[in-house]
Amino acid sequence: MRRERLLARLLRRTAAAALIPALLATLSCAVGPDYRRPEAVARMPERFEGAGVTWRRTEPASAAMPKGPWWEVFGDPELNRLESEAASANQDLRAAAARYAEARASADVARSGLFPRLAAAFSATRQQDSRNRPLSTTGEAAGKGFTYDNYTVPFDAGYEVDLWGRVRRQLQGARASEQASAADWQGVRLSVEAEVAADYFTLRSLLAEERALAASVEAYRKSLELTRNRREAGLSSDLDVAQAETLLNAALAQQPALEEARLRFVHALAVLVGQSAPLFHPDEEALAGDPPLIRPGLPSTLLERRPDVAAAERRMAAANAAIGAAEAAFFPVLKLGGAAGFQSIESGTLLSAPSRFWAVGPSLALPLFEGGQRRAGVRSAKARYDETVALYRQTVLKAFAEVEDDLAAQRLLEEQYERERAAYLSAKRQLELAEERYRGGLVSYLQVTSAQSAAQAREQALAVVRGERYVAAVSLIKALGGSWGEGPASAPPDGPSGRNRP
């Protein structure tokens, strides 16, 4: 008999020892597909057509990294100041930071599902039992109702054994969503930084146009005065005076539109840096010089830091994890629970040993019929994943297109600027010759007015193209993920305030 008991005990221990590894193996797996990033496009180009930059995949860790003060490459102290103010006071940035904090908290909520839940409570009640309850209708208790106090101090514990990986899949999805939110935050930050720089350079370009127009107005005034004097001397006609007045009035008519446009960009900058528009007065200086030229030979890691691509990739990972969480709903849910504490009808004996109670045991729940709810949940999760894959690939394609567009814009605007500059110098020389010949009585004033109009138009066009070049440089840096922080491969010595070129 003793030998049989020993054998039975040995068999139980052997069975338990065999079950433990099996249980651990079950806990280490999770239903649903493991995440593998799909190819971004069917055919991945090795280089951009517009520059020798090699494509690399986006990584969430690098995309969430601070990009650094890329705008410092422009060498403009006022721009540096505005970017610093926007980083600390822009409301869109604060909203994005709050969304990121919310995503981090959601990930912490999902992580809490991996741990047991403990709770404590205290209750003190006075109650009377019904006289008609079963125990009050028989024996000595028949027809009697008991009134008594009840004091309880319970401690409850519960734990869901994550057999099928539902909780772990939810945690994977929450962490991926947190990383996507971090990339979104960096995307908003990059957009704000680029918008500040673009608006600032556009503002300075408008100032250059205004100053060029003001110089033309002053020249037209002097020309009108000269023409009137020549008419009084009998050297010019009324037609010459009318032509001079037309040029002056046409130039004056352009000033309100330029001022309105400039004020609009001042107010837009005020919003970006978190200030009230009436109280915002940036240092205003006309734009001059050349922007830094982003040439081929940029580091191949630039594109992997595009925040929008990183966010789209992380949303794919979150959607993939949601499939596993949905499939886990088909399997039983095992929970371990327990309770212990003190209970007594007298407060004085509440914490005594006889007042102790406890209960412990597992529970197993298996859904049997829910009208196809679980299958529909899996189909919904898979459809959501397919959507995120399509959005990811679309984001990558747009990233390629934006970089190619901005590379082409940089190249073509540089060519246009050189041609506009040559045209301006030619128009300026033509005006000088026309004025000289007019003073010598060799040509009519019509040729002077024509040369003046051409010179004014070319000077304003030159200012516009210069501003577009600066904005294109900002746009290209943004398209490359804002990580162009090590400076260009080659840049001219004069910054945005340079005076060595017209």
Domains of the chain in start order, with CATH, are: 31-90+185-307+393-479 (1.20.1600.10)
Q: Does residue 289 contact residue 500 with C-beta atoms inside 8 Å?
A: yes
String of DSSP letters for 178-245: HHHHHHHHHHHHHHHHHHHHHHHHHHHHHHHHHHHHHHHHHHHHHHHHHHHHHHHTTSS-HHHHHHHH
Structure tokens at 242: 């009318």
- Regarding pTM above 0.85, the answer is no
Task: Check pLDDT > 50 for residue 22.
Answer: no
Q: How many CB atoms lie within 10 A of CB 174?
A: 22
Most confident of 287-296, 323-332, 485-494: 323-332
Q: What is the mean pLDDT of residues 104-133?
A: 84
* CA–CA distance, 309 with 252 (Å, rounded to integer): 48
Question: Residues with Cβ < 8 Å from 401, sequence gap 6 or more?
Answer: none
What DSSP character marks residue 57?
Answer: -
CA-CA distance, 425 to 312, in Å (whole number)? Answer: 49
The answer to whether 469 and 417 are in contact (CB under 8 A) is: yes
The stretch 351-376 carries a mean pLDDT of 87
- pLDDT at residue number 295: 55
Model pLDDT for residues 233-256, shown as the tens digit of each residue: 887 788 888 988 998 898 899 999
Question: Is the model more confident about 405 or about 298?
Answer: 405
279-310 pLDDT tens trace: 888 887 888 788 887 653 343 344 567 899 89
Q: Name the residue with higher pLDDT: 1 or 157.
A: 157
Instruction: List, for residues 446-488, the tens digit of each pLDDT value.
Output: 788 888 888 888 988 999 999 999 999 999 889 888 754 333 3
Q: In which band, very low, low, confident or very high, does the pLDDT at 8 lie, cut at 50, 70 and 90?
A: very low
Region 180-194: what's the mean pLDDT? 93
Q: How far is CA 65 from CA 110, 124, 125, 310, in A?
A: 24, 55, 57, 11
Q: Chain-wide mean pLDDT for the chain?
A: 80
Residues composing the chain = 502
Lowest mean pLDDT among 36-45, 306-315, 335-344, 386-395: 36-45
Residues 464, 43 contacting (CB under 8 angstroms) = no
Q: What is the pLDDT of residue 288?
A: 79
CB-based contacts of 287: which residues, under 8 Å, 6+ apart? 201, 204, 205, 207, 208, 463, 466, 467, 470, 496
Give the pLDDT of residue 499.
36
